[in-house]
Chains A and B, each alone.
Chain A
Amino acid sequence: MIDLIIIGAGLAGLFAAYTAARAGQRVKIVAKGLGATHWHAGTIDVLGYYPTAAAPVTRPLDALRDLTRAQPPHPYALLDGALNDALENFLALMQELGLPYAGAANAGDNLWLPSPVGAARPTFLAPRAQLAGDLQRAEPMLIVGLQGLRDFYPHLIAENLTKQGHPARAALLPLDLITERRDSNTAQLAAALDEPARRAKLGAALKNIVQPGERIGLPAIVGLEAHRDAFDELQAQVGAPLFEIPTLPPSVPGVRLTNALRNRLRQLGVRIEINADVMGFHAEGDRVVWIESDASGRPLKHRAEKFLLATGGILGGGINSDHTGKVWETVFDLPLVTPPNRGQWFRARFFDPAGHPIFRAGVAVNREFQPIDARGARVFANVWAAGNLLAHSDSILERSLEGVALATACAASRAACHPKP
């Protein structure tokens, strides 16, 4: 018998499963796909910008007070210390898994990492392989790309970094250092660099072009399964600090993060059923009894005591919409907070700093992270929700995507482990 079924295998779903399994719950994950973590930069963004802030956020945990005052229903406002706990648990877990993460040298500050277009990207925790890119460090940068790799342009990055006062130069190396195939998929290049001989060739070429005192920025392709060894060996060989810059999806750091979390869940006995699109459910009174997935052309019922919804927002597939302006939650058809009509969904500028109202749509929850309706009443006694499905935050705009996912997953999972009547 399963205690808790988690619907969704993104960062929120995986972390909720981890939290519940460690608390002794029998957990199963049912998900349509692999989750959106493969598309992320692999960093943990907690807060970078928000519309009412005067300036970019330098100390996210300090800024939360101001954010939640300005936006009382924000998911961060519902947490009783769960963000700190979640971040600490996450750091410990990743250390254990051999994919250590860390924050800025000055504890509590945001990191400012070079983006693949050379902007300074605010994030709170980053995998070790990205840390030396922090733009608060002074060493000049050598950004190195590979000829023909369509997802990484070192000259563009270096030019924009230099314009912002971070000295950087660029170089291109031949792609055949890494692969004989005319292949520019970053995930495959990363897998190729799992092989020591290939990294040695790349290392020799880097050593040749680096100047004393420089740090080297590379596309995030330094190993997939053997990432830790690959990164350490390459750095030792070159003799200069290395850092990876995440690339267009599929993002190798995102894949590494998902793989690590899933391995740990397997060790904890959590079953993960992918390719199981939830198509229906059955409730008796205010309790969900089972959900039904559509897998391999046959319906399959999944029963559990409790259900935790982590299907994501519009990007993850937890929310869908149509041309009439109807917006719905895709599993339980839960009440949603949405702009009143399609005329209110967007603003005229793509980069409007206030964001587009539709992306704040989502499920409203109480402090127990249980979905509620417009009157504030709990919809189901045994359903919890976490992650970007939650209303009142545009986490891509805020650069709070992973922070919201981890913190709400931790909080919702704890609440589900110890349900209140």
Chain B
Amino acid sequence: MKRIETDILVMGGGATGTGIAWDAALRGLRVVLVEKRDLTHGTTGRYHGLLHSGGRYAVKDPPSAAECIAENRILRRTHAHCIEDTGGFFVVTPEDDNDYPDQFYAACQRLGIPCEEISVAAALKREPLMNPQARRVFVVPDGAADSFQATHSTAQAAQRAGATILTYHEVKQLLVEGGEGNRRVVGARVRDVARGEDVEIRAAMTINATGAWAGVVAQTAGVRVDVIPGKGTMLAVNHRIINTVLNRCKMPDDGDIIVPIHTVSVLGTTDERVQDPENLTIEPWEVELLLREGEKLIPGVSRARFVRAWAGVRPLYQEHYNGASRDATRDLTLLDHQTRDGVAGFLTIIGGKWTTFRLMAQVTMDKACEYLNNCKPCLTATTPVPGVEQGHYWLGHRLREVEEHHLQNELVCECELVTRAMLENAARNNPTLTLDDLRRDVRLGMGPCQGGFCTYRAVGILHQLKDEGRRTNDEGEVWEVAAMQSPAHNLASLSAPSSTLVFGLPSSVLLRDFLQERWKGLLPILWGRQLKQERLDELIYLALMNADHLPDQNVSSPMSDFYSRPGVSTTADQPPATDGGGAR
């Protein structure tokens, strides 16, 4: 069995875990991060993309709000290119409580959250689709954050500072030594799921940043952590119907926000306590609720075309809490298992939100450093990750670059303007096991056709890369993860600086997995024009390709099962005896 020695073992490749790896590496520590799937596979990759100003929690959870505004200011510097400076509105609709807006404004003032009331007419000029019946509108510095890009950039910053990032490495068992009262976590046994091998990683400190999965991981050391898994469901409209984050100005509740991010607008969210963070079912009532509430912010939005639904699990935590997940604190919690459970060498970081990931990492490493020698102070608040020189994200960047460089015929995914070289470079330089990994890298298949055209092309291109074999790096070629989404920075196909390519899977499996993954997110919102689009995708993959009768029917990937689990309860479980139902 392969063995690795390190100072810090981080478990979890979400925003927090990656932030910890970065923080630890900058402090001069040896650090290894393990993630069971791809980076951001968990909650980080399944949220609506809001960079909080803190306004949302100003009244209900002031400490959380204070953290948000502080981190908002920091991330705009350290992760500028991952953030679109959309600004946010807090909109008082006719349905909302009259007293709340003044409380809201006062709380923002108290917490130092920039907040300005503007006229409804001025707000409508900026966002013409906003409910014209709105009574008051406040402007706050909300933003839209690309959590895929941010996590990848953080990971690359960590790697450049010496960290090792191992994706598709799943924790099987924490390694515990010592007897009762003197127990110590000394690392973990993990499984390299792509190669099917076990690896033993021994570390001075082991950090559990697995979010909603924290309880499951801690359990393997006999430590109890009761996560409050709060499922949030979101729906994406097929284009940018707004360019400013729209929040309802009321106590946090279901369906109170619409976030413009990349090419879509996201209606969020619901909040429901669930048992299992892995198997999330989107219920029809959640979709209906989001449409109904969305109508209050943008009248007519329920008739828009939706391209996708998904759910993420907030890893909320409150000791001895038994209430609704909506009311559980959003604050971060650090559990020192030495003082809490008598198990040394082991920390769990939980709670918080994407906006506060850097702070969570800092708090965790400050504590870890109390147990280690020769730690430098935290540097993450003042160290930009690679890519900040690009400035803030803006929606038109890909189109401008495609047009400037005449790349129209290089497009593999027309919806999201992904060129062939972007895809090839991401596949060669980021660990790639499935097409879904490339989706997170370059937004493959995230637009209106949901993979209808690009799935086939991506499979064909990856197949060709495999045939070419792995080249070694040419002199001077540098893989900039921050430029991964930029057509202009991918004019030529880079060779791979290291063999991170994990193409073991037959093309048919890549194709089947990705189509199933897309299907899972489509099911809850298929009607009208998107249903028609889906039928075109069926025409392509069934009638034209016969892709449901390809060889390798029995081969699966580590993700096949995950994609195939029901993501929605609106499915016919039993084949209908007849065609079911009569004429309307």
Which residues does A use to contact B, with CB under 8 Å? 36, 39-41, 45, 51, 56, 73, 115-122, 148, 150-153, 155-156, 159-160, 163-164, 182-185, 246, 248-249, 251, 313-315, 317, 320-323, 325, 327-328, 335-340, 342-351, 353-354, 356-361, 364, 372-374, 391-392, 396-397, 399, 401
Chain B nearest CB from A167 CB (Å) reads: 14
A interface: dominant SS:
loop
Residues of A within 8 A of B542 (CB): 396-397, 399
**Measured CA separation A219–B181 after assembly (Å):** 71
Nearest A residue to B468, CB-CB: A155
Residues of B within 8 A of A336 (CB): 583-584
Bound complex: CA of A252 vs CA of B536, how far in Å? 17
A residues near B303, Cβ cutoff 8 Å: 322
Measured in the bound complex, the distance between the Cα atoms of B572 and A115 in whole Å is: 30
With beta carbons under 8 angstroms apart, the residue of B284, B515, B576 that contacts A342 is B284
Partner of B536, one of A152, A182, A249, A359: A249
Of A322, A374, A396, A397, most buried by chain B (CB within 10 Å of CB) is A396
Complex Cα distance, B551 from A120, in Å, reads 10
Contact yes or no, B552 A163, CB < 8 A: yes
Determine the distance from Cα of A321 to Cα of B525 in the docked complex, in whole angstroms. Answer: 11
Residue B374 at the chain A interface, CB threshold 8 Å = no
Verify A347–B545 contact, CB threshold 8 A.
no
B456 touches A248 (CB 8 A): yes
B546 cross-chain contacts in A, Cβ below 8 A: 115, 117, 119-122
Q: Which 5 residue pairs of A and B lie closest in terms of their CB atoms, listed nearest first?
A: A153-B460, A335-B583, A374-B583, A350-B519, A119-B546
Q: With a 10 A CB-CB cut-off, give which of B288, B467, B507, B527 has the most chain A CB atoms.
A: B527
- A372 to B582 CA separation, bound complex (whole angstroms): 11
Q: Which residue of B lies closest to A336 (CB)?
A: B584
Task: Please give, as numbers and ranges, the residues of chain B lying within 8 Å of A246 by CB-CB distance.
Answer: 544
Q: A349: which of B406, B539, B564 is its contact (CB, 8 Å)?
A: B564
B572:A345 contact, CB within 8 angstroms: yes
Of the residues B459, B566, B575, B582, contact of A348 by C-beta under 8 Å: B566
> Which residues of the other chain, A, contact B582 by a CB distance below 8 angstroms?
337, 374
Q: Give A117 to B461 CA distance when docked, in angstroms.
A: 12
A-B contact pairs, 21 of them (CB 8 A): A56-B549, A116-B545, A117-B550, A118-B550, A119-B546, A156-B459, A159-B507, A248-B544, A251-B544, A321-B527, A322-B527, A337-B581, A337-B582, A339-B579, A343-B569, A351-B515, A357-B580, A359-B535, A372-B583, A399-B542, A401-B539
Contacts of A152 in B (CB 8 A): 460
CB distance from B279 to the nearest CB of A (A): 12
Question: Among A39, A150, A184, A346, which residue has its beta carbon within 8 angstroms of that of B571?
Answer: A346
Contact between chains at B459 and A155 (CB < 8 Å): no
In whole angstroms, how far apart are the Cα atoms of A364 and B581 in the complex? 12
CA distance A150 to B550 in the complex (A): 21
On chain B, the residues within 8 Å of A155 by CB distance are 463-464, 467
Q: Are B302 and A323 in contact (CB under 8 A)?
A: yes
Given A119-B550, A248-B456, are A346 and B572 also a contact pair (CB < 8 Å)?
Answer: yes
Contact residue among B420, B456, B538, B572 (Cβ-Cβ distance under 8 Å from A344):
B572
**Alpha-carbon gap, A225 to B507, bound state (A):** 35
CB distance from B565 to the nearest CB of A (A): 8
Chain B residues in the interface with A (C-beta under 8 A): 284, 287-288, 291, 302-303, 406, 409, 411-412, 420, 453, 456-457, 459-461, 463-464, 467, 507-508, 511-512, 515-516, 518-519, 523, 525-528, 531-532, 535-536, 538-540, 542-552, 564-572, 575-576, 578-584
Q: How far is the CA of A85 from the CA of B67 in the complex (A)?
A: 75
Given contacts A150-B420, A323-B528, 13 further A-B contacts (CB under 8 A): A115-B544, A116-B545, A160-B551, A315-B532, A320-B528, A321-B531, A323-B525, A328-B584, A337-B582, A347-B571, A396-B535, A396-B539, A396-B543
Given contacts A164-B551, A335-B583, A364-B583, contact A39 B576 (CB under 8 A): no
Q: Which residue of A lies closest to B514 (CB)?
A: A350
Q: In chain B, what residue has the closest Cβ to A338? A: B581
Q: Please, which residues of chain B bring their CB within 8 A of the CB of A338? A: 581, 584
A67 to chain B, nearest CB (A): 14
State how many angstroms separate the Cβ of A35 from the closest Cβ of chain B: 13
B544 lies within 8 A of A351 (CB): no
B545 engages A150 (CB within 8 Å): no
The verdict on A327 contacting B584 (CB below 8 Å), with A119-B545, A315-B536, A347-B572 known, is yes
Cβ contact within 8 Å between B576 and A344: yes
Summarize B's interface: helix, strand, loop or mixed: helix
Asked if B538 contacts A348 (CB within 8 A), the reply is no
Please, which residues of chain B bring their CB within 8 A of the CB of A397? 538, 542
Name, among A313, A315, A338, the residue most crowded by chain B CB atoms within 10 Å (CB to CB). Answer: A315
Given A116-B544, A119-B549, A156-B507, decide whether A342 and B527 contact each other with a Cβ distance below 8 A: yes
A368 to chain B, nearest CB (A): 17
Contact between A351 and B516, CB atoms less than 8 A apart:
yes
Given contacts A348-B571, A396-B542, contact A153 B564 (CB under 8 A): no
Chain A residue numbers with a CB within 8 Å of B545 are 115-117, 119, 121
Q: How far is the CA of A372 from the CA of B583 in the complex (A)?
A: 9
Tell me how far the C-beta of A137 lies from the nearest C-beta in chain B, rounded to whole angstroms.
18
B301 to chain A, nearest CB (A): 11
CB distance from A210 to the nearest CB of B (A): 20
B570 touches A343 (CB 8 A): yes
Contacts of A248 in B (CB 8 A): 453, 456, 540, 544
Min CB distance, B521 to chain A, in Å?
Answer: 11
The answer to whether A357 touches B579 (Cβ under 8 A) is yes
B569 / chain A contacts, CB cutoff of 8 Å: 343
The residue that B409 contacts in the complex, of A122, A184, A328, A343, with Cβ under 8 A, is A184
| Closest Cβ–Cβ distance, residue B531 to chain A (whole Å) | 6
What chain A residues lie within 8 Å of B525 (beta carbons)?
Answer: 323
The answer, among B457, B467, B567, B572, for a CB contact under 8 Å with A151, is B457
Which residues of the partner chain B approach A396 to less than 8 Å between Cβ atoms? 535, 538-539, 542-543
B302 nearest CB neighbor, chain A only? A323
Instruction: Chain B residues near A345: list those with CB within 8 A.
Output: 526, 570, 572
Are B544 and A41 within 8 A (Cβ)?
yes
- A400 and B508 CA atoms in complex are apart in Å by 24
B217 to chain A minimum Cβ distance, whole angstroms, is 28
Whether the pair B572, A314 counts as a contact (CB closer than 8 A) is: no
**A185, B408: Cα distance in complex, Å:** 11
Whole-angstrom distance between the Cβ of A218 and the nearest chain B Cβ: 16
Among B460, B461, B518: residue with most chain A CB under 10 A: B460
Residues of B contacting A348 in the complex (Cβ-Cβ under 8 angstroms): 523, 564-568, 571
- Chain A residues with Cβ under 8 A from B548's Cβ? 351, 353
Q: Check A182–B409 contact: CB distance below 8 A.
A: yes
A353 to chain B, nearest CB (A): 7
For B420, list chain A residues within 8 Å (CB). 150
Measured CB to CB, the closest approach of chain B to A348, in angstroms, equals 4
In the complex, A210→B539 CA distance in Å? 33
In whole angstroms, how far apart are the Cα atoms of A119 and B540 in the complex?
13
A327: min CB distance to chain B, Å: 7
Q: Do the beta carbons of A183 and B409 come within 8 Å of each other?
A: yes
Alpha-carbon gap, A15 to B508, bound state (A) = 36
CB atoms of A349 and B544 under 8 A apart: no
Cβ–Cβ < 8 Å partners of A73 in chain B: 578-579
